[in-house]
Amino acid sequence: MNNELLYQVALTLIPGMGSVHAKILSEHFKSAEAIFKAKKKELTHIEGIGASLAKAIKDFHNYTEAENEIIFCEKHHIALLFLTNTAYPQRLLNCYDSPTLLYYRGNANLNSSKIISIIGTRNNTEYGKQITEQLIADMQQQTGLLIISGLAFGIDGIAHRAALQNNIPTVGILAHGLDTIYPPPHTSLAKEMLGHGGLVTEFRRNCIPDKFHFPRRNRIAAGMSDATIVIETALKGGSMITAELAFNYNRDVFAVPGKTTDPKSGGCLKLIQQNKAILFTNANQLLLEMGWQDKKITPNKQRTLFIELTEDEKIMLEILKEKEPQAIDDIYLKSARSSSAVAAALLNLELQNVVISLPGKMYKLA
């Protein structure tokens, strides 16, 4: 058995050893084996470690458990990715609390050139479902794209399924060991993801989806991503935790606006109001904000999905079909409608991803 791998797993089994401690020690000693072989005095004098943790390291002898963990992983084709492993998600290394060891099963590149996390409520609306599916469908032609989420009910599951349908790799970040799947109804979805993406967790086998595990899971989803997109969320919940983490990690956060009266949009609106998230309109805007415009998205088919348009909205579309982009003043003149009616119609069309607002109060079709 690989000695270094054995010590890497053993490091996560030491009582009181947090991910920050492990990162400090790994940077100091350059190998897990060297940590265990260091003298107690040397460990004690490392800033952030202290006498009690140094003693715990020197008192550790449960290598059998580490061996059993490795045997289980080998049997089930699970890769163990330590902080120093080149396959470890490198974006996570920029986070002060990056996980010490990740358990990964799948075939996706966890260091893909474009990684987005799509998250949201477990009790989504049809609007949230439609926005999620449209976003992913519009990203289909992007090279090097990986979509990650938490495999939960609602927006998470919708995002994973839409990615698979559009042949985009998708990875689920779990709050438990890889010997189980939670929620159980997503077992078949998880198995499908193994063939075109994968599953990642920092929890070893026999670790259940305890409520305290989900915030730790959320920090991985936030830290692994270039951008986090919040589709729908209430003012409190896991999606807000993930968004806050992503913001604190200096990642780009996008939030989909919704009705001010809809509790499922309350969190998104709050993130936008606090300038912690960019108001999300469509995939083209996301690509522009992220500097990912290597392939332009073909004209959006979204406009055909909303057949129940108001009379004012139909007029706006006809005007923009004649010429685009157009200034809002020109649209006023051509529509023969009041300025408030035009503004309301354009806003509704923009929220439905039918039109795009440009700098200088210009508008064009999505």
> For 27-75, what is each residue's pLDDT tens digit?
899 899 999 999 988 998 888 898 999 999 999 998 999 999 999 999 9
pLDDT on residue 304: 46
Q: Which two tokens stand for residue 141?
A: 């032609």
Residue in this structure with the two tokens 């989806």, named with its chain if needed: 209
**CATH architecture label of 107-290:** 3-Layer(aba) Sandwich (3.40)
DSSP string, 184-238: GGGHHHHHHHHHSEEEEES--TT----TTHHHHHHHHHHHH-SEEEE-S--SSSH
Q: How far apart are CA 299 and CA 356, in angstroms?
A: 12
Note the pLDDT tens digit of each residue in 171-196: 999 999 999 999 999 999 999 999 99
* Beta partners for residue 230, in sequence order: 119, 255
Q: How far apart are CA 158 and CA 302, in angstroms?
A: 18
Residues of the chain with pLDDT under 70: 1, 294-307, 359-360
pLDDT on residue 117: 97
pLDDT on residue 340: 78
DSSP classification of residue 91: G
Is residue 102 a contact partner of residue 81, using CB atoms and an 8 Å limit? yes
Q: What is the CATH number of domain 3-88?
A: 1.10.150.20
Domain ranges of the chain: 3-88, 107-290, 302-365
- For the chain, helix, strand, coil in percent to 5 are 45, 15, 40
pLDDT on residue 106: 95
pLDDT on residue 298: 52
pLDDT on residue 256: 92
pLDDT on residue 339: 79
Q: Which residues contact 252 (CB under 8 A, 6 or more apart)?
A: 226, 227, 228, 246, 278, 289, 290
Topology given in CATH for the domain delimited by 302-365: Arc Repressor Mutant, subunit A (1.10.10)
